[in-house]
Amino acid sequence: MRTIRTIAEMRAWLGNCRAENRSVGLVPTMGAFHAGHHSLMRAAKDEQDAVVVSLFVNPTQFNDPKDLQNYPRSEANDAVEASELGVDVLFAPPASEMYPEGFATTVSVAGLSEILEGAERGPGHFAGVCTVVCKLLNIVAPDAAYFGQKDAQQVAVVKRMVRDLDLSSKIEVLPTVREPDGLALSSRNVRLSSEDREQALSLSRALFAARDAVAAGERDVERIRAAALAQIEDPEYLAVVDPLTFSPLSTIAAPALVAVAARVGPVRLIDNLVLEPVPAPVAT
């Protein structure tokens, strides 16, 4: 595996790939790899001829300077793991390469970026995400880019950006990877104490309670939310929304998304789950 730090070198390497008619998959990450990242790399490896994993802790998407400072960084270990998974290139540029002096352009998606995560993290969060993802898609020009379902709103924003700007890369979304006890994997989990980790399970328990309520036939969103809220104290939000627009729902008649965010100890965690109502059997 090769580690590349500059856009010019990345494009030169990609030029050789294209000359050989090799398809390219991109896995955008901020590093501190876990099994969720590994699943994205494996999918890219299975489906594409060459795999690029970007490793860039993007400063423009952090609304809290302490969160940026404390975000886990483990490039040496990440490189070993990516290499073992058959990744071809680890693209790990410095901030000065991605945002050179005089950088003045921002990509933003109106509406969808302003609710839930956008409301909690500030208007610059998803603008930072969109700007860096747009740059990565332009630099790598992958046939497909691979994202995890855990960041569902981010995925929805990126998909809208790709559609609106007529970018050619396909966006592939893989299921959230969880610990056996239900905790969604996150790079931030390493900052949880043992007590915090136990408390963190309340997020997935709330989601599973919502899922169970829907499976039992409940369709009223307020009652579904009540079942979920019984499992978690003081979330920043717990919403049942349309999975594409993130508009709030009052009843569930089609697949919906339940999303939750909460602070646990020093860490802010998010999670979500798709709710799929089963149609009632037709009387015969």
32 labelled binding-site residue = yes
Give the span between the Cα atoms of 113 and 97, in whole angstroms.
26
Local structure of 147: helix, strand or coil: strand
| Upper half-sphere CA count for residue 67 (Cβ side, 13 Å) | 16
Establish whether 148 is an annotated binding residue. yes
Torsion, CA 121, CA 123, CA 126, CA 129, rounded to 10: -90
User: Half-sphere exposure of residue 31, counting CA atoms within 13 Å on the CB side?
Assistant: 20
pTM: 0.94
pLDDT of residue 283: 56
Mean pLDDT by groups of 10 residues along the chain of 284 residues: 98 97 98 97 98 97 92 96 98 98 97 95 94 98 98 97 98 97 95 96 98 97 98 97 96 97 96 88 56
Measure CA 253 to chain center.
Answer: 26
56 labeled part of a ligand binding site: no
Pair of tokens at residue 47: 């489906």
3-state DSSP assignment of residue 264:
strand
Q: CA 270: distance to chain centroid?
A: 10
Q: Is 184 left (phi over 0), alpha (psi -120 to 50) or beta?
A: beta
Contacts of 42 (CB under 8 A, 6+ apart): 85
Which of 29, 37, 231, 273 is flagged as catalytic?
37
Q: Is there a catalytic annotation at residue 37?
A: yes
Q: How far apart are CA 194 and CA 180, in angstroms?
A: 16
Q: What is the mean pLDDT of the chain?
A: 96
List 238's β-bridge partners, or say none.
260
Is 40 among the annotated ligand-binding positions?
A: no
Residue 151's closest CA among 251, 257, 52? 257
| Confidence at residue 123, expressed as pLDDT on a 0 to 100 scale | 79
Is 256 annotated to bind ligand? no
What is residue 61's predicted lDDT score, i.e. its pLDDT? 96
Place of tokens 């090799």: 22
pLDDT at res. 145: 98
Structural domains of the chain ordered from first start: 2-174 (3.40.50.620), 187-272 (3.30.1300.10)
What is the pLDDT, as a whole number, of residue 115?
A: 96
Count of all residues that appear for the chain in the document: 284
DSSP 175: P
Question: Could you tell me if 40 and 116 are in contact, meaning their C-beta atoms sit under 8 angstroms apart?
Answer: no
CA atoms within 13 A on the CB side of 193: 5
**Is residue 74 marked as binding?**
no
Residue 73's pLDDT is 94
